[in-house]
Amino acid sequence: MSVFILHVYVSGKLIDVTPKQIHEIKDFLLTARRKDARSVKIKRSKDAVKFKVRCSKYLYTLCVFDTEKADKLKQSLPPGLSIQDL
C-alpha cells in the first residue's frame, strides 16, 4: 500500500492538502453540515462505500462497510449539498 502526501505553498506557507479520514458516521454528518462543505462524492466498491465531502481546506473521507448503513447515510445528507455517485 502506497501513501502519498501532497504539500502546497500558499502565500509562502506550506499547507498539507492530504485528505483527512473520519471514522464515525456522526462526525461525518457534522462535517457535511458545515458552512464550507460544498459537495459529496459517493464511490461504491464491492467491499465498501466511500463518502467524500469537499470542504474549503480539506477533503474528508468516510468508509462504510455495511451497504444498509451507507444507504441510510446517503438519505441523511443535507439537501443543499451536491451529491455525485461515482
CA–CA gap between residue 12 and residue 66 (Å, rounded): 43
Structural domain of 37: 18-85
Residue 42 dihedral angles phi and psi, to the nearest 5°: -120, 120
pLDDT value at residue 47: 93
Q: In this structure, is residue 5 part of a structural domain? A: no
Kindly write down the DSSP assignment for every residue of 40-54, as one continuous string.
EEEEE-SS-EEEEEE
For residue 75, give the CATH number of its domain: 3.30.720.90
Q: In this structure, is residue 27 part of a structural domain? A: yes
Check residues 81 and 8 and name the one with the higher pLDDT: 81
Residue 52 in contact with residue 59, Cβ under 8 Å?
Answer: yes
Question: How many domains does the chain fold into?
Answer: 1
Q: In this structure, is residue 8 part of a structural domain? A: no
Instruction: Grade residue 86 by pLDDT with cuts at 50, 70 and 90.
Output: confident
| pLDDT tens figures, 26-83 | 999 999 999 999 999 999 999 999 999 999 889 999 999 999 999 999 999 998 889 9
Instruction: Grade residue 17 by pLDDT with cuts at 50, 70 and 90.
Output: low
CA–CA gap between residue 46 and residue 31 (Å, rounded): 26
Q: What is the distance in angstroms between the CA of the first residue and the CA of the last residue of the chain?
A: 22
Instruction: Grade residue 2 by pLDDT with cuts at 50, 70 and 90.
Output: low
